[in-house]
Amino acid sequence: MAEKVAVIGTGYVGLVSGACLAAIGHKVICVDKDDAKVARLKHGDIPIYEPGLSDMVRSGLEQERLAFTSDIGSAVSSSDIVFVAVGTPPLDNGDVDMTQVRTVFEQIAEHMAGYKCIVIKSTVPVGTHASAAAWLKEKMAEPIEFDIVSVPEFLREGSAIHDTFHMDRLVIGSASRAAAERIAELHKPFGAPVLHTDNSSAELIKYASNAFLAAKISFINEMAHVCEKVGADIQLVAKGMGMDRRIGPHFLNAGIGYGGSCFPKDTRAQLRIAEAVDYDFKILRSVIEVNQLQRQRFVEKVASALNGSLEGKKLAVMGLAFKPNTDDLRDAPALDIIEMLQSRGAAVRAYDPVAVGHARPLLPETILTTDPYEAITGADAMIITTEWDTVRALELTRVKQLLASPIIIDGRNVFAPSDMATLGFRYVSVGREER
């Protein structure tokens, strides 16, 4: 059955959820307090880079299944189901800033005239469903029925639409069986296996999953150091581990560590959540520490490939985004790495196919380009920080001609060391034999 849905917040999660729900036939109105953003969205102009999203939004608009507004009141009153998908950024101490979520719940309370099924999509600390119920009740003029359903979002940037249509699981946390069934029905066309839980478990599943994935990455990065010391190959080690179905082959790529809008923020938040109940989550503390160290160790690797000193060196950094297929620079390892290289006296020219615009204000001392060969020309070394397809597809003979010295330090293990040796490069990567 087609439902009327309001989605509050048109960030990553809100926009993708809204567009995908409209694509499966629901009538969706997306709300954002930013008038200028809403005006752009009404014309199908998407503020983020996400493959396929722009087409999906445009077709939703054309078929009048998707609309945008800055008027939260009319969106709430015209919808039966309200998704809350506003940001939960970190505070300086790692706690989650719940201001936006709270404000939205208070606004919903002010505008609801009848029963609403409210879905929390934002990544929120455990217990938020109970606080949200209290915020609603506090602001309601008179008692009105509602249900709160916790439906964490697991999509990855760059493959958000694919992830929505091929979900591993749909977690639905609610105290009301009827509300949970309704939300399961709403998502039915996605064909995902559904796990019904209580609200607290659903809230924790999101943090637990991200923390565990981050732990896999930090684990394999630690293992990569051991491989370097003993002359083993981390990719073969990861492959051998991954063939054990209890471990699985994913998230075992060694490199320069994780970045992005979720893992760094959610691991720190989970640590704080544990602290708040007097629990020292030791593994998670190490996961975070290892991830930070990984960036420093990579800079050391660059320095040692250039005989110990970076002073006066011209370096080409390939890739700014925290991973390919996104222009997101939040907590991107490349930004930290560039800063460290510059503080040690290197001059950096950086390439990225889509993130250069966002990067300009963040990297005032770096020459930025969307032409990979321009970045490389005359550089003392090429440093790979994001495994863009355009980096994988570089013509390596041309790269060798353009570099001042044929040195590549690869933080993403993009190329095969034996090929690079054949081509005559000095090739340093992560957890593999140096050539």
Residues with catalytic annotation?
A: 262
SS3 category, 380: coil
Q: Does 252 bind ligand UDX (CB under 6 A)?
A: yes
Segment interacting with ligand UDX (CB under 6 A) among 35-43, 52-60, 246-254, 357-365:
246-254
| From 19-27, 151-159, 335-343, 364-372, span contacting ligand UDX (CB under 6 A) | 151-159
Span interacting with ligand UDX, options 88-96, 104-112, 125-133, 251-259, rule CB under 6 A: 251-259
Cβ proximity to ligand UDX: between 61 and 238 the closer is: 238
Q: Which is nearer to ligand UDX, 213 or 407 (CB)?
A: 213
Q: What would the two tokens of residue 151 be?
A: 């439906």
If one asks whether residue 251 binds ligand UDX (CB under 6 A), the answer comes out as yes
Report residue 313: phi and psi, to 5°.
-80, 145
The yes or no reply on residue 154 touching ligand UDX (CB under 6 A) is yes
Is 202 a binding residue for ligand UDX by CB under 6 A? The answer is: no
Q: Is residue 190 at the binding interface for ligand UDX, with CB under 6 A as the rule?
A: no
Instruction: Give CA–CA dist 301/293, Å, rounded.
Output: 12
Q: Determine, following the binding rule CB under 6 A, whether residue 259 of this chain makes contact with ligand UDX.
A: yes
User: Rounded distance, CA 397 to CA 330, Å?
Assistant: 33
Site for ligand UDX in 301-330 (CB under 6 A): 322-323
Q: Does 255 contact ligand UDX by CB under 6 A? A: yes
For 14, the enclosing helix (H) or strand (E) is helix 12-23
CA atoms of 357 and 360, how far apart (whole Å): 6
Q: Is 268 in the site for ligand UDX (CB under 6 A)?
A: no
> Least Å distance between CB 291 and ligand UDX?
9
Q: Which single residue brings its beta carbon nearest to ligand UDX?
A: 262
Smallest distance from the beta carbon of 38 to ligand UDX, in angstroms? 25
By CB under 6 A, which span of 96-104, 259-267, 276-284, 307-315 interacts with ligand UDX?
A: 259-267
With binding defined as CB under 6 A, does residue 212 bind ligand UDX?
no
- For the bound state, the minimum distance from the C-beta of residue 204 to ligand UDX, rounded and expressed in Å, comes to 14
Contact 351, 369 (CB under 8 A): yes
Q: Which of 17, 88, 253, 366 binds ligand UDX (CB under 6 A)?
A: 253
Q: Of the two residues 157 and 380, which places its CB atom closer to ligand UDX in the complex?
A: 157
The DSSP annotation for 151-178 comes to: ----PPTTSHHHHHHT-S-EEEEES-HH
Query: Does residue 157 belong to the site contacting ligand UDX (CB under 6 A)?
Result: yes
Judge contact between 86 and 100, C-beta under 8 A: yes
Q: Among residues 104 and 155, whose Cβ is nearest to ligand UDX?
A: 155
Stretch that binds ligand UDX, among 86-94, 131-139, 152-160, 171-179 (CB under 6 A): 152-160
Over its C-alpha atoms, the chain yields an Rg (Å, rounded) of: 24
Q: Whose CA is closest to 410, among 380, 377, 386, 389?
A: 386
Minimum CB distance to ligand UDX smaller for 175 or for 208: 208
Question: Is residue 388 part of the contact set for ligand UDX (CB under 6 A)?
Answer: no
Q: Which is nearer to ligand UDX, 156 or 360 (CB)?
A: 156
Q: Looking at 352-413, which runs of residues are DSSP E strands?
A: 367-369, 381-384, 407-410
Helix (H), strand (E) at residue 72: helix 72-77
| H-helix segments, 248-387 | 263-276, 282-305, 333-343, 356-359, 372-376
- Residues composing the chain: 435
Choice between 107 and 210, CB closer to ligand UDX: 210
Of positions 119, 217, 396, 403, contacts ligand UDX by CB under 6 A: 217
Whether the CB-CB separation of 159 and 52 falls below 8 Å is answered with no
Cα–Cα–Cα angle for 323, 327, 331, rounded to 5 degrees: 60
Task: Convert 343-363 to b/e letters by CB count within 10 Å (16 or more is b).
Answer: eeebbbbbbbbbbbebbeeeb
Residue 261, token pair as written in the block:
């809008």
Cβ closer to ligand UDX: 57 or 262? 262
Q: Is 50 in the site for ligand UDX (CB under 6 A)?
A: no
| Other CB atoms within 10 A of residue 240 CB | 10
- Residue 153 binding ligand UDX, by CB under 6 A: yes
Strands 146-150 and 170-174, by their bridges, are antiparallel
Give the footprint of ligand UDX on this chain (CB under 6 A).
153-157, 210, 213, 217, 251-253, 255, 258-260, 262-263, 322-323
